[in-house]
A = this chain, B = another copy of it.
Amino acid sequence: MNIITNLLNIKYPIIQAGMVWCSGWKLASAVSNAGGLGLIGAGSMHPELLLEHIKKCKDATNKPFGVNVPLLYPQIDDIVDIIIKENVKIVFTSAGSPAKYTGRFKENCITVVHVVASAKFAKKSEDAGVDAIVAEGFEAGGHNGIEETTTMTLIPLVRKSVSIPVIAAGGIATGSGMAAAFALGADGVQIGSRFAASVESSAHPSFKQKIVEAGEGDTKLMMKKLVPVRLLKNKFFEDVQKAEDNCITSNELRELLGKGRAKKGMFEGEMDNGELEIGQIAAYINSIKSAKEIIEEIVSEFNSVKENLRRIEF
């Protein structure tokens, strides 16, 4: 038990990131049933689809689960209404100002956690009344901060800047990573890539396989002129790299990206021309396991790392 397990009413302070195209009700409920916190990723769902996923998640687990809401989502008001109406108890917000919806969520007794990439925005989120922070480092997959602050640097800075609980994200896929995050001052961890490659992830099997096969240096933070996003190397990545080496403008970049490319890559399995968002730690992930196995492995490794650390004497 700790401050995060108490806040979220879960067994282990392990949150499965609400990723686009990977985090549907199957993954969220499996993680929640295994003692972590599952999040449905609303970022890749139309409001009706989100509603369906929330209903199915309720049927699949009696444990707490949540929804991840990117605040810049076009139909954000519909999403917020659904979450409140469906009595979802936990919301993770990201990509936008926490000042806008936190009040409304809190009025409806919803626990709000906001995702940030800097201590400055962690403080702003605390001031906006959120219950906890996810601090996500440069190594994380998908959309990322502009300051490129890594988890190792970010967690101590965020820890110092707020008094609410801090959940570390970016580069964490194992119990040893979780222990490191706790050593840095985190009270919990949010894990994306490892669950993207889980049995219950709704990612396309080809994408899961590509995550497992990814090695060192196979992801990079790209498209900094639009929004920085960490991509897995493939043909589309190479196209972007070439264009960026040739000083592409942000408008041209937007055109190159086009629409629906993330869905194509991660959900429909188009490995060459799809956009594949994944974290650096994919290099360490080499098997596709069930959410339950992943959580059990992480907790067991966390405990043995703690034990090993305890024995070191200087």
A residues touching B (Cβ–Cβ < 8 Å)?
1-2, 5, 11-13, 118-120, 137-139, 146-153, 156-157, 160, 170-172, 174, 176-177, 179-185, 216-217, 220-221, 246-247, 280-281, 283-284, 299, 302-303, 305-306, 309-310, 312-314
The answer to whether A284 and B182 touch across the interface, beta carbons within 8 angstroms, is: no
The answer to whether A216 and B284 touch across the interface, beta carbons within 8 angstroms, is: no
| 14 CB < 8 A contacts A-B | A12-B314, A120-B216, A138-B138, A148-B221, A150-B170, A150-B171, A152-B177, A153-B283, A156-B177, A157-B284, A180-B180, A180-B183, A302-B314, A310-B310
Q: Which of B13, B148, B176, B313 contacts A184 (CB 8 A)?
A: B176
The answer to whether A156 and B185 touch across the interface, beta carbons within 8 angstroms, is: no
The answer to whether A137 and B150 touch across the interface, beta carbons within 8 angstroms, is: yes
The answer to whether A182 and B149 touch across the interface, beta carbons within 8 angstroms, is: no
Instruction: Find the residue from A11, A139, A152, A284 having the highest chain B CB count within 10 A.
Output: A152
The answer to whether A174 and B150 touch across the interface, beta carbons within 8 angstroms, is: no
Inter-chain pairs besides A148-B280, A180-B184, 11 sampled, C-beta below 8 Å: A1-B313, A139-B149, A146-B217, A147-B216, A147-B217, A149-B216, A152-B177, A179-B183, A183-B305, A183-B309, A246-B247
Question: In this complex, what residue of B is CB-closest to A284?
Answer: B156
What CA separation (Å) do A2 and B2 show in the bound complex?
31
Question: In this complex, what residue of B is CB-closest to A181?
Answer: B180
The answer to whether B182 and A153 touch across the interface, beta carbons within 8 angstroms, is: no
CB of A179, distance to nearest CB on chain B (Å): 4
Q: Which residues of B contact A119 (CB under 8 A)?
A: 216
Q: Which residues of B contact A120 (CB under 8 A)?
A: 216
Q: A176-B185, A184-B177 are in contact. Are A148 and B314 (CB under 8 A)?
A: no
The answer to whether A310 and B314 touch across the interface, beta carbons within 8 angstroms, is: no
What CA separation (Å) do A199 and B299 show in the bound complex?
42
The answer to whether A284 and B153 touch across the interface, beta carbons within 8 angstroms, is: yes
What CA separation (Å) do A304 and B192 show in the bound complex?
30
CB of A4, distance to nearest CB on chain B (Å): 11
What CA separation (Å) do A217 and B314 show in the bound complex?
34
Question: In this complex, what residue of B is CB-closest to A147?
Answer: B217
The answer to whether A152 and B176 touch across the interface, beta carbons within 8 angstroms, is: no
What CA separation (Å) do A88 and B138 show in the bound complex?
39
What CA separation (Å) do A185 and B176 show in the bound complex?
8
CB of A251, distance to nearest CB on chain B (Å): 15
Instruction: Find the residue from A174, A181, A299, A306 having the highest chain B CB count within 10 A.
Output: A306
The answer to whether A309 and B312 touch across the interface, beta carbons within 8 angstroms, is: no
The answer to whether B185 and A149 touch across the interface, beta carbons within 8 angstroms, is: no
What CA separation (Å) do A266 and B181 show in the bound complex?
32
Q: Which residues of B contact A179 (CB under 8 A)?
A: 180, 183, 309
